[in-house]
Structure 1
Amino acid sequence: MNLLIVEDTPSLLMSLDRHLRSQGHTVDLAADLGTALSLWRSEPDRFDVILLDENLPDGLGSTLLAEVRAAGNDTGVLVLTARSQVHDKVHLLDVGADDYMTKPFEFPELDARIRSIHRRRQQKPSGLETFGPLEFDRSQSIFWAAGEQVQLRHKEAQLLEAFVDAKGAICTKARLIQKLYRLDDDVSENAVEVHIGRLRRRLADHNIRIETIRGVGYQCHV
């Protein structure tokens, strides 16, 4: 899994880093709220789980949590807190945390809670749309194949959603740019080509082909 650890105590941050890397995870570190926000904003779909300290030198970890949830992002969040009051824990869960651990804690329990969060986030909901061999949860822009979630970055999922809506018709580059970017973004057509290339690689094992219609756009065949 890709993890973001947000913790301002250097010894605990390094200890978490060493342990979680030893478990095979990819880890990014932030010792303050500003760094954590920058890492998340730069690539909001990168992380599977965020380990989030509540008390940081420049603010509260729940500020990041609230921004993640306000953006509709489904990243798992495990809050690490020294606070033991029930109302503090209730507040964190209400803001959108998946779980919390009170410091100090043991690594085996931490590992189990990370796995539990990841499993819950991977569970397939009911009432999905179908798109060829894929199933699609439109509310969260998540795709599934053979019971497993297809790992897509945010813009890759947006592209695939555009192809779902097109129902086999050609999607022009202009339409895809409109889907992926805001009106005030300075975007080249090459940016769409990069995301199309990545999406093709993601779908290579699912018998879905994206054809380039020269001078027009793209057509998805399922």
Structure 2
Amino acid sequence: MRILLVEDDAALRLGVARGLEREGWQVDVLSDGEQAMSGGLQGGFDLCILDLGLPRRDGMEVLRHWRAQGLKAAVLLLTARDELSDRVRGLDAGADDYLVKPFDLPELLARVRALKRRADGRVEEVLRLGPLTLDLAHKELRHGEARVALSPREWALTEVLMQKAGKVVTKESIVSRMSTWEADFSENSVEVYIHRLRKHFAPLGVAIRTVRGFGYVLELQESGGDAGAAATS
């Protein structure tokens, strides 16, 4: 997938670009709205990540121009404007999703993956494992009808595990997916967050099993088994 990133903050632009490239995507970068007016229409992009607060031309103006000129690529807005009216204006102008600054890189990557699934025609936005339901569109984890509260990093790790439920997810792939532009997500951090998720999931009948030397498997607890043993075996 080829992505255009339009962001005037150099540090943020570099960090986001590196995170996207770690996912295996090709990334082109621009730093102001004037460049983006024409640049977004010339590259054959699959997705555009567009900051609203750009110099020279406002991101909203860029977005309207793109859509008026027939741009079909999905557009994810980055905005420091947390007012509902601004978000509505962006969606009405043709954006497919938005993310309010400051944000964690894993959340941005999750939204990019969701937009890619839609573009690929895979519109299923709900992952299920037994009593757990992960709604990717609304960012909710539910156990039956009850909502399970997770931090942004816990959410990102849950998405990684549920996408491959029943299969081994390597520690290296988790580190890659969870790292931010500020710091790498270390293997020790993986263990910390796995431990936190086990505490969330054990009462819900779901275990995270360690496959030593390989990684982790998210699976249903065996009927009648001990929750603690299932989570740490």
| Residue of structure 2 equivalent to 1:12 | 12
SS of match in other structure, 1:56:
coil
Task: Tell me the residue number matched to 1:73.
Answer: 71
2:87 paired with 1:92? no
Alpha-carbon contact 2:50-2:75 (below 8 Å) kept: yes
In structure 2, the residue matched to 1:108 is 106
Residue 38 of structure 1: how far off its partner (Å): 2.9
Residue 83 of structure 1 aligns to a residue whose secondary structure is: coil
* Structure 2 partner of 1:194: none
Runs of 4 or more above 3 Å deviation = none
Query: Where does the alignment leave 5 or more consecutive residues of structure 1 unmatched?
Result: 126-222
Which runs of no fewer than 5 residues in structure 2 stay unpaired?
Answer: 124-233
C-alpha distance in 2, partners of 1:89/1:29? Answer: 23
Q: Say which SS state the counterpart of residue 50 (structure 2) adopts.
A: strand
Quote the sequence identity (%): 41
RMSD: 1.6
User: TM-score under structure 1 normalisation?
Assistant: 0.53
Asked if the contact 2:41/2:66 (under 8 Å) is kept, the reply is: no
Question: In the alignment, which of 60, 75, 83 is matched to residue 62 of structure 1?
Answer: 60
**Residue 49 of structure 1, aligned match among 47, 59, 69:** 47
Query: Where do 1:169-188 residues align within 5 Å?
Result: none
Which position in structure 1 is the counterpart of 2:21?
A: 21
How far off its partner does 1:72 sit? 2.6
Distance 1:67 1:124, change over 3 A: farther
What's the secondary structure of 2:3's corresponding residue? strand
Whole-Å separation in 1 of the counterparts to 2:37 and 2:79: 18
Q: Cα deviation per residue 1:59-95 (whole Å; 9 max; x = unaligned)?
A: 2112221122112322000000000000000000000
Counterpart of 1:52 in 2: which secondary structure? strand
Q: Could you tell me which amino acid in structure 2 is paired with residue 37 of structure 1?
A: M
The number of equivalent residue pairs is 123
| 1:37, distance to aligned residue in structure 2 (A) | 2.0
The answer to whether the 8 Å contact 1:49/1:76 transfers is: yes
Shift of 1:124: 8.0
Contact 1:51 1:79 (C-alpha < 8 Å) held by counterparts: yes
TM-score w.r.t. the length of structure 2 is 0.50
Tell me the equivalent position of 1:37: 37
Alignment-derived partner of residue 178 in structure 2 = none
User: Using the alignment, how far apart are the partners of 2:20 and 2:115 within structure 1?
Assistant: 15
- Secondary structure in structure 2 of the residue aligned to 1:100: strand
The residue identity in structure 1 corresponding to 2:61 is T
